[in-house]
Structure 1
């Protein structure tokens, strides 16, 4: 049976190489399923196997006019499918490895960022605690308890202008800490 198949393939290839393009669809019909099965056997993914078979046909059709031993078409073409399947596996592994490295580096960066955030928060808390009581109160009421400037004025029994002034001064001191921290990171 195999010898008969090789003779039919040889005849089709010789016809194609002689300019009879109608021989190609017959050859494709005879081999496409086998190519898909071979690619699936390696990749274990039906969709990928179909894509590899299609890519293999592109390569085969390009090189077919130069095939010297037409009777060896089957092994020659299957070697192309096999190589493309392995290329896909290797590329997938490389991509997955890169993704894993990226995930690890992102986790490390996240931990480093959290560490920097914690240090910054500690510095800010330290600076807030060193502010005069009046500025501490305004900062805590405005940012922590989210009162409006008018409400803070009512709570502290001071004018809106005084609240704004204390808030501005406190922010400036906090901004210095943030700038120092930013310059320290760079």
Structure 2
């Protein structure tokens, strides 16, 4: 009896040899799992469907270059995760731009409320963080991911995720220490 890994290996080899049905079998076997993985990351069913479809486009395009067909599952999952992370980065950038534009909309003659001022300072401090720390902060605080989920997603250890979160917090404390929260 073939293992899933050896079955995938045989299907990849068959596809590389010109058997188009092998690709159809791979899609049937893996599409739902890829969609579920994307959903786990982006938390939006429609976006997850799109990511799974885009992932298949990339997989089909690059399947010929897969050196070790035994690694199909891990290779393909990495593609799905990368597509999902790309989407999350775009969303994060859009949210940041929306936040920044919301602050720019306030007219010069209208004074910022204290809350708006705090939000602006926090947005500026977050923007100044290194990207690796910013990503962990976003996933932890905005997306509500656990440290384990973050480590799996970013392919880093849990300790590294904790360290990045710690250093981001410390940087934010220093940057924002002048703010008096007792208003």
Report the more deviating stretch, 102-111 or 50-59.
102-111
Q: Helix, strand or coil for the counterpart of 2:20? A: coil
- Where do residues 85-164 of structure 1 align in structure 2 (5 Å cutoff)? 85-108=84-107, 111=110
Structure 1 match to 2:49? 50
Q: Which has the larger radius of gyration?
A: 1
Q: CA deviation at 1:111?
A: 3.4
Deviation digits for residues 33-71 of structure 1 (CA, Å, limit 9, x no counterpart): 110111011111111111100010010000001111001
Report the TM-score when normalising by structure 2.
0.58
1:63 matched to 2:62? The reply is yes
Q: What is the root-mean-square deviation in Å for CA atoms of aligned residues?
A: 1.7
Structure 2 match to 1:184? none
Deviation digits for residues 147-182 of structure 1 (CA, Å, limit 9, x no counterpart): xxxxxxxxxxxxxxxxxxxxxxxxxxxxxxxxxxxx
Q: Helix, strand or coil for the counterpart of 2:19? A: coil
CA distance 1:36–1:10, change in 2 (3 Å): same
Q: CA deviation at 1:110?
A: 7.4
Unaligned ranges ≥5, structure 1 = 113-186
CA distance 1:13–1:19, change in 2 (3 Å): same
Deviation digits for residues 110-141 of structure 1 (CA, Å, limit 9, x no counterpart): 739xxxxxxxxxxxxxxxxxxxxxxxxxxxxx
Structure 1 match to 2:6? 7
CA–CA distance in structure 2, aligned partners of residues 55 and 35 of structure 1? 11
Q: CA deviation at 1:108?
A: 3.0
Structure 1 match to 2:77? 78
Q: CA deviation at 1:11?
A: 0.6
Structure 1 match to 2:20? 21
* Larger helix share, 1 or 2: 1
Question: How many residues are aligned here?
Answer: 111
CA distance 1:22–1:109, change in 2 (3 Å): farther
CA distance 1:109–1:33, change in 2 (3 Å): farther
Structure 2 match to 1:146? none
